[in-house]
């Protein structure tokens, strides 16, 4: 496995890869990798002749004040990441500096309502614009045949697909099954920042979504709300995430 920090050096390597007729898979990450990322890498390795994994903590998706705090606290574990990636069979790791990725300020604006303006988009203005900036940069740099994203970030996948259509990029977006803990919590690099109380509560969200989606067909919105409140009390975090996600996926409609 080779580690590249230079765009030109990576592109020169990939030019030779393509000359040999191999397909290229890309797994974009921000580092602090876990078994969820490993599952994406293993799938890319199985489906492509060469796999590139980017490890880049992208500042343009952390614009607001609270986002800057999140950026500063995000784990940085490149040595451990590289060890995991080599064990998964990745061929190349691309870990550029901010200056390498953005030699000049990226002022491009991406907006694909309603997918960029609801749920996380509504609460984190500018976040998905930053996602589109970095993912499009990675696509232009690597020119992958396929790019792999976890279904855990369902809204992000929808945004990336919209961006690919808008830019007319020739890349297949591959959605991969979410990897979960034994209690149902999706693996995430940020889970280490949960308090014991939050960690205990977090699996309720996935459980509520699954049970509510099964309950919702042919039920009214009020019946779904009553069901969630009856099952899980009046926890506002569980309720907001559940109703927002079900509405966005079209499971329930007309949520006020």
Q: Kindly list the catalytic residues.
A: 37
User: 191: burial class by Cβ within 10 Å (0-12, 13-18, 19+)?
Assistant: middle
CA angle 27, 115, 253 (to 5 degrees): 125
User: How far apart (Å, rounded) are the C-alpha atoms in residues 173 and 190?
Assistant: 24
Peptide bond into 210 cis (omega under 30): no
CA angle 146, 151, 154 (to 5 degrees): 105
User: How far apart (Å, rounded) are the C-alpha atoms in residues 137 and 83?
Assistant: 25
């Amino acid at each position: 496995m080779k580690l590249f920090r230079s765009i030109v050096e990576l592109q020169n390597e990939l030019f030779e890869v393509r000359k040999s007729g191999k397909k290229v898979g890309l797994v974009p990450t921000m580092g602090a990798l876990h078994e969820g990322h490993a599952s994406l890498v293993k799938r890319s390795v199985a489906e492509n002749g060469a796999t590139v994994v980017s490890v880049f903590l992208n500042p343009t998706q952390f614009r607001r004040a609270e986002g800057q705090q999140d950026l500063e606290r995000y784990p940085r574990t490149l040595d451990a990441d590289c060890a995991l990636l080599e064990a998964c069979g990745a061929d190349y790791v691309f870990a550029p500096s901010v200056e390498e990725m953005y030699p000049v300020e990226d002022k491009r604006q991406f907006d694909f309502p309603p997918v960029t303006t609801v749920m996380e988009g509504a609460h984190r203005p500018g976040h998905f614009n930053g996602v589109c900036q970095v993912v499009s940069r990675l696509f232009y740099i690597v020119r992958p045949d396929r790019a792999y994203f976890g279904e855990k970030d369902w809204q992000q996948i929808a945004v990336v697909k919209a961006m690919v259509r808008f830019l007319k990029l020739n890349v297949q977006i591959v959605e991969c099954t979410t990897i979960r803990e034994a209690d149902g919590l999706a693996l995430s690099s940020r889970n280490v920042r949960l308090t014991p109380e939050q960690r205990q509560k977090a699996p309720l969200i996935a459980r509520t979504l699954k049970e509510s989606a099964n309950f919702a067909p042919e039920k009214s919105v009020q019946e779904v709300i009553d069901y969630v409140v009856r099952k899980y009390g009046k926890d506002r975090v569980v309720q907001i995430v559940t109703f927002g996600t079900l509405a966005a996926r079209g499971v329930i409609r007309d949520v006020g």
